Structure 1
Amino acid sequence: MSVNFKKYTIRPGDTLCSIAKEFMITKEELLAANPHLTDNKLSPKDILWVPEKRSKPRIPEDNPPTFEKRYTVKGGDTAYSIAQKFNVDLDYLIKANPHIPGISSIEPGDILCVPKREEK
């Protein structure tokens, strides 16, 4: 996947987390693109480079039989954190999303099918 960068001017009240969320990336990705940042202090009018991923979100063509809802992946999400958020087994989440091979590679914007919880 190729990555381009967008120039971003810091506004009052911005934080690394708020900027990362706005661009659907992780704080770590933002820091990696801006190695000049030695701490979390941002000043208005400072310039940051924001990575823009050049891939389209992966969207399921249909819903599996165990489907309950769809979820749009956000920056910082992992398959494990999403499974915990919806209280479903990670294996069920993986099986419900065959459109994403290697679910550990989810990216912000991807759409996941969240399966119904298994009754035990």
Structure 2
Amino acid sequence: MATVRYFAGDVDASVLFYTRHLGFALRQQFGPNMAILDRGDLTLWLAGHQASASRPMPDGAIPEPGGWNRFVLEVTDLPSFVTALQDEGVSFRNTMIEGPGGRQILCMDPSGNVIELFEAAAS
């Protein structure tokens, strides 16, 4: 099982996004500052502004959402999945691309964290 931590500007909005659009289940929430969600073998920790993981680093840098690191969710029928998300107002960072391994697109959660949606090429 893998665990990923994402920083969230609004933990409640992020919980709603991941459970409503991407099939995660809420395991536990600690007020407005921390939530733990599961999807298969992936555990996602969402940390808000007051979570201990959000404390400034020794050099003064403050952890924040966004960036290019991401986890990958494998889906079937990526075009239909993307259309359904677009109909629900989910934001995307790019358009779908296709390569020898399959198709992919990057969607964003409410805090700007990136999730790669991937459909493997038929073998």
TM over 0.5: no
Taking structure 1 as the reference length, what is the TM-score of the superposition? 0.26
Higher alpha-carbon Rg: 1
**Structure with greater strand percent:** 2
